[in-house]
């Protein structure tokens, strides 16, 4: 019998005739506990401190974390890593008057100990089952090492590759982003938070954080409610519908009110309209930053505004800790508002089973068994293979033939485990990462390695050695792109062009006459027009985590036929950004092909690679797109299309369905993804793919955020990417 249960049961008067009573049902238990709590103890539950490392901004008070925890002034912690440290803090929490256990959270963005592909890469798989399995693995490792809360998934839609955090999301599409967010939440939280192989997920960053003006980190966001509802909101809403336990408010303002103190977002939309039952945590230091937004006069004002707007837990800054008592005693904030927040937090602690056993996540034996377990490594490899996107494959240079015996491997990124882990992977074990260099040498090939360019400056100072390596090899494989640390938070860029030195390197290597394969390693869409012209093949390999090297080799040699599709448009010019496939017609669409239309005079409108694009070692043919006619709103019509593997090898295709509402009461995009299927087809095999045409495929939010489905004609498009030439189309009429 755990001492803590005893303590808690005694506190709550649950100790009956010498035996421990069952812990009372949640509501009863939490009410009884709250009755015993002082004002200070309640405020303590709202305070979250960061222990060490991973500081993602200014702020953080200089107090002893140990003392505060022991005094019951802290309700949750972030950045405490490992069973030993977590147990130490939990023991201190149990020494506080009521012994209320702590929650421990961490940014587990794409793997805990075993690195998984960055979320944008995982999204390229268009494989929801695999994405969910990856999240299950992330949860298992995190929970085995003491955590019960991870700050993921990021569900922010973004159309702007300058913004560094696109690497953390699922890309540009609201329909797909919603499915990915829900899959990740299912994977992280499982069936029950009480299961010690699961963790609480945290939907972030609510809301609109992916649309900072000019792509600049932490910048203001300004969009109409209609725009928000149709393009940015769906993943957040889907996450709440999937039962996400917690939500993080965004740093930015939304409709002129900072999200951290945004009553519309937190109280009205999230709780009243969507029925969210969990608690909301601020982003790092963002309550105090209400003062910098010039929305609060001082920290006391910030505390009052945030709490009243529905913000429960204050991460890092200490406005609640310092001023809430005063604010309540002065009557400026009602104690009832505080009580609601405390209840939400205690309820989650109860659901996690922490009152029954505060150390249920602290089992060193389990940690040793689960971290880097073979099935987790295997899932990481499968996820990585599915995340790779084949962008170019001229004259079928890939897959490489088994006759190739020597490879010129150029570029320091090919040997950099640190980069391979990707940004925002603080706990990934670098010592267990397989780089392309490791994987190629293990295949028994002769690897002639040269750096070519300087990883820090991108200067072409190793050209001669690279040329020499190329001349003596059968094929040249060059890693290009950006360092992992050049994407992620605080890594916004004005220039997303590939550095000139890297482009020149490819041009020079091409002169050797050897096939040149470029591995594009990046956390965001980059621009590399010269490489597109010169390289024989280009694989977008993002940052793939612990099994990166093996996954890349498997794709290069055709052991895995690439099946990824871009979840974000790759621009051809930085001036096109923000760029996305679901743009609107405008009054002067470029399709009119005349002057005075919506276009540029110095660049085409078309991107380098559109959303949904990605090649395979085989080809797929589409035919027979049709739809059952004559349905009314509320009924389902069925759309079908035939897909055939017309090549010589088996492969997977992501069959995409797009819809255009021809005429509507508000302006609508030229097309929107409304369905997709990932199919595996053997050579010569065909399959008829069907989609159910529901109201969700046809309707939209009007300017008052009401969902409407309007009768009329809809153009249905099916094919292999969002590019018009890749799509068959037919018309459907809703009566
Ligand atoms: C980020 C969040 C993260 C938090 C805690 C912030 O800077 O915006 O996504 O969860 O730090 O590390």
The DSSP call for residue 486 is G
**CA 280 to ligand 1 center in whole angstroms:** 14
The position carrying tokens 């010589």 is 648
**CA 487 to ligand 1 center in whole angstroms:** 14
Q: Which of 59, 283, 317, 423 to mutate to test the pocket of ligand 1 (most atoms within 8 A of CB)?
A: 283
pLDDT recorded at residue 593 = 80
What is the secondary structure of 160-192 as a DSSP string? -TTSGGGGGS--S-HHHHHHHHHHHHHHHH-S-
**CA 56 to ligand 1 center in whole angstroms:** 6
| Ligand 1 neighbour 101 (Cβ under 6 A) | no
Query: Given a cut of 90, is residue 631 above it in pLDDT?
Result: no
Residues 6+ apart with CB under 8 A from 406: 445, 446, 447, 448, 472, 473, 474, 475
| Ligand 1 neighbour 217 (Cβ under 6 A) | no
Pairing of strands 19-20, 15-16: antiparallel
**Do residues 345 and 149 lie in contact, with contact meaning Cβ atoms separated by under 8 Å?**
no
| Ligand 1 atom, smallest distance to 315 CA | 5
Q: Which of 488, 489, 492 to mutate to test the pocket of ligand 1 (most atoms within 8 A of CB)?
A: 489
**CA 403 to ligand 1 center in whole angstroms:** 48
The DSSP call for residue 497 is B
Query: Given a cut of 50, is residue 7 above it in pLDDT?
Result: no
Please identify every residue annotated as catalytic: 283
Whole-Å CA distances, 395 to 42, 349, 400, 535, 598 = 68, 59, 12, 11, 36
Residues of the chain with CATH 2.60.40.10: 619-734
pLDDT digits (tens, 9 = 90+) for 88-129: 999 999 999 999 999 999 999 999 999 999 999 999 999 999
pLDDT recorded at residue 16 = 34
pLDDT digits (tens, 9 = 90+) for 122-162: 999 999 999 999 999 999 999 999 999 999 999 999 999 99
pLDDT recorded at residue 635 = 80
Distance CA 362, CA 364 (A): 6
**Measured torsion, CA atoms of residues 437, 567, 202, 55, in degrees rounded to the nearest 10:** 50
Query: Given a cut of 90, is residue 12 above it in pLDDT?
Result: no
- In this structure, the residue with its CA closest to atom 4 of ligand 1 is 284
- In this structure, the residue with its CA closest to atom 10 of ligand 1 is 151
**CA 165 to ligand 1 center in whole angstroms:** 11
Q: Which of 284, 288, 424, 487 to mutate to test the pocket of ligand 1 (most atoms within 8 A of CB)?
A: 284
Residue 678 pairs with which residues in a beta bridge? 654
pLDDT recorded at residue 719 = 98
**CA 334 to ligand 1 center in whole angstroms:** 29
Could you tell me which of 277, 206, 284, 209 has the C-alpha nearest to residue 241? 277
Could you tell me which of 444, 480, 450, 453 has the C-alpha nearest to residue 468? 450
Residues 6+ apart with CB under 8 A from 259: 205, 206, 207, 208, 209, 249, 250, 251, 252, 253, 265, 266, 286
pLDDT digits (tens, 9 = 90+) for 402-460: 999 999 999 999 999 999 999 999 999 999 999 999 999 999 899 999 999 999 999 99
Q: Cβ of 16: how many Cβ atoms within 10 Å?
A: 10
Of the listed ranges 13-22, 74-83, 410-419, 607-616, the one predicted with least confidence = 13-22
pLDDT digits (tens, 9 = 90+) for 118-132: 999 999 999 999 999
Whole-Å CA distances, 336 to 45, 314, 340, 346, 543 = 15, 18, 6, 15, 47
Q: Three-class SS of residue 351?
A: helix
**Do residues 563 and 386 lie in contact, with contact meaning Cβ atoms separated by under 8 Å?**
yes
pLDDT recorded at residue 15 = 34
The DSSP call for residue 289 is G
Query: Given a cut of 70, is residue 2 above it in pLDDT?
Result: no
Query: Given a cut of 80, is residue 399 above it in pLDDT?
Result: yes
Pairing of strands 620-627, 637-645: antiparallel
Query: Given a cut of 60, is residue 325 above it in pLDDT?
Result: yes
pLDDT recorded at residue 61 = 72
How much of the chain exceeds pLDDT 70, in percent?
Answer: 97
> Kindly report the CA angle at 636 between 631 and 639, in degrees rounded to 5?
90
Query: Given a cut of 50, is residue 19 above it in pLDDT?
Result: no
pLDDT band for position 56 (cuts 50, 70, 90)? confident
Q: What number is the average pLDDT over the span 540-560?
A: 98
Of the listed ranges 367-381, 543-557, 592-606, the one predicted with least confidence = 592-606
**Do residues 253 and 206 lie in contact, with contact meaning Cβ atoms separated by under 8 Å?**
no
Query: Given a cut of 60, is residue 11 above it in pLDDT?
Result: no
Class of domain 619-734: mainly beta
Residue 621 pairs with which residues in a beta bridge? 644
Residues 6+ apart with CB under 8 A from 193: 148, 199, 200, 245, 348, 351, 352, 353
pLDDT recorded at residue 22 = 53
CATH architecture of 385-576: 3-Layer(aba) Sandwich (3.40)
| Ligand 1 neighbour 132 (Cβ under 6 A) | no
| Ligand 1 neighbour 489 (Cβ under 6 A) | yes
How much of the chain exceeds pLDDT 90, in percent?
Answer: 93
Residues of the chain with CATH 3.40.50.1700: 385-576
Could you tell me which of 537, 495, 204 has the C-alpha nearest to residue 391? 537
Query: Given a cut of 90, is residue 55 above it in pLDDT?
Result: no
**What rounded mean pLDDT belongs to the chain?**
95
pLDDT recorded at residue 53 = 63
| Ligand 1 neighbour 168 (Cβ under 6 A) | no
Q: What is the layout of strands, in order, in the sheet containing 406-410?
A: 389-393, 537-540, 516-521, 475-481, 406-410, 446-450
pLDDT recorded at residue 14 = 43
| Ligand 1 atom, smallest distance to 205 CA | 9
Query: Given a cut of 70, is residue 204 above it in pLDDT?
Result: yes
- In this structure, the residue with its CA closest to atom 5 of ligand 1 is 284
**Do residues 170 and 177 lie in contact, with contact meaning Cβ atoms separated by under 8 Å?**
yes
**CA 27 to ligand 1 center in whole angstroms:** 31
Query: Given a cut of 90, is residue 327 above it in pLDDT?
Result: yes
Q: Which of 55, 107, 167 to mutate to test the pocket of ligand 1 (most atoms within 8 A of CB)?
A: 107
- In this structure, the residue with its CA closest to atom 2 of ligand 1 is 283
pLDDT digits (tens, 9 = 90+) for 516-525: 999 999 999 9
pLDDT recorded at residue 54 = 61
| Ligand 1 neighbour 56 (Cβ under 6 A) | yes
pLDDT recorded at residue 238 = 98
Task: Tell me if the pTM is above 0.85.
Answer: yes
Q: How far apart are the first and last CA of the chain?
A: 66
pLDDT recorded at residue 284 = 97
Query: Given a cut of 80, is residue 17 above it in pLDDT?
Result: no
């Amino acid at each position: 019998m755990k001492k803590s249960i005893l303590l808690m049961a005694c506190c709550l008067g649950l100790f009956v005739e010498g035996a421990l009573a069952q812990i009372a049902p949640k509501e009863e238990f939490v009410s009884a506990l709250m009755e015993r709590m002082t004002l200070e103890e309640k405020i303590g539950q709202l305070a979250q401190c960061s222990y060490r490392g991973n500081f993602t901004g200014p702020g953080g008070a200089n107090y002893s974390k140990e003392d505060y925890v022991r005094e019951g002034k802290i309700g949750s912690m972030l950045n405490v890593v490992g069973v030993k440290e977590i147990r130490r803090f939990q023991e201190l929490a149990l020494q506080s008057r009521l012994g209320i256990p702590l929650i421990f959270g961490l940014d587990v963005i794409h793997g805990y100990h075993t690195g998984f592909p960055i979320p944008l890469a995982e999204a390229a798989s268009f494989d929801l089952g695999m994405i969910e399995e990856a999240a299950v693995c992330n949860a298992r490792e995190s929970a085995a090492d003491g955590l019960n809360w991870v700050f993921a998934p990021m569900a922010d839609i973004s159309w702007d590759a300058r913004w560094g955090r696109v690497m953390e999301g699922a890309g540009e599409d609201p329909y797909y982003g919603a499915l990915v967010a829900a899959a990740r939440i299912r994977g992280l939280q499982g069936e029950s938070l009480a299961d010690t192989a699961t963790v609480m997920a945290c939907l972030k960053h609510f809301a609109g954080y992916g649309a900072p003006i000019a792509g600049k980190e932490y910048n203001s966001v300004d969009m109409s409610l209609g725009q928000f509802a149709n393009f940015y909101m769906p993943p957040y809403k889907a996450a709440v519908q999937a039962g996400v336990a917690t939500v993080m408010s965004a740093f930015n303002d939304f409709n002129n009110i900072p999200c951290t103190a945004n009553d519309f977002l937190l109280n009205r939309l999230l709780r009243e309209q969507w029925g969210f039952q969990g608690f909301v945590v601020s982003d790092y230091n963002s309550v105090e930053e209400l003062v910098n937004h010039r929305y609060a006069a001082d920290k006391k004002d910030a505390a009052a505004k945030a709490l009243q707007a529905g913000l429960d837990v204050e991460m890092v800054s200490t406005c609640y800790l310092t001023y809430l008592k005063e604010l309540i005693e002065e009557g400026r904030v009602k104690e009832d508002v505080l009580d609601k927040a405390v209840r939400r937090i205690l309820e989650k602690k109860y659901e996690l089973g922490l009152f029954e056993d505060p150390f249920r996540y602290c089992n060193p034996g389990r940690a040793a068994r689960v971290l880097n377990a073979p099935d987790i490594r295997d899932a990481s490899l499968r996820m990585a293979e599915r995340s790779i996107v084949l962008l170019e494959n001229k004259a079928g240079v890939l897959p490489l033939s088994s006759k190739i015996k020597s490879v010129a491997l150029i570029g320091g990124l090919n040997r950099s485990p640190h980069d391979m882990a990707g940004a925002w992977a603080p706990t990934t074990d670098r010592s267990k990462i397989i780089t392309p260099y490791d994987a190629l040498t293990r295949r028994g090939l002769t690897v002639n390695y040269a750096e070519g360019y300087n990883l820090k400056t991108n200067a072409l100072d190793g050209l001669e050695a690279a040329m020499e390596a190329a001349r003596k090899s059968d094929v040249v494989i060059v890693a290009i792109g950006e360092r992992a640390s050049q994407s992620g938070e605080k890594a916004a860029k004005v220039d997303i062009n590939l550095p000139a030195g890297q482009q020149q390197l490819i041009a020079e290597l091409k002169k050797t006459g050897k096939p040149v394969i470029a591995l594009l390693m990046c956390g965001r869409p980059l621009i590399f027009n010269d490489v597109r012209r010169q390289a024989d093949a280009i694989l977008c390999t993002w940052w793939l985590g612990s099994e990166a090297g093996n996954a890349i080799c498997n794709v290069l040699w055709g052991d895995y036929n690439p099946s990824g599709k871009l979840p974000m448009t790759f621009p051809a010019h930085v001036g096109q950004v923000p760029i996305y496939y679901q743009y609107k017609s405008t009054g002067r669409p470029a399709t009119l092909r005349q002057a005075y239309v919506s276009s540029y005079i110095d660049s085409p409108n078309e991107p380098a690679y559109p959303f949904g694009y990605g090649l395979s070692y085989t080809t797929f043919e589409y035919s027979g797109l049709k739809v059952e006619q004559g349905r009314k709103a509320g009924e389902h019509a069925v759309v079908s299309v035939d897909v055939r593997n017309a090549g010589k090898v088996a492969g997977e295709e992501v069959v995409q369905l797009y819809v255009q509402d021809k005429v509507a009461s508000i302006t609508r995009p030229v097309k929107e993804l409304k369905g997709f299927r990932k199919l595996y087809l053997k050579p010569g095999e065909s399959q008829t793919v069907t989609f159910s045409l529901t109201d969700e495929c046809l309707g939209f939010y009007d300017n008052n955020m009401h969902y409407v489905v309007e009768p009329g004609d809809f153009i249905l498009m099916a094919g292999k990417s969002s590019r018009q030439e890749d799509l068959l189309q037919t018309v459907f009429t809703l009566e």
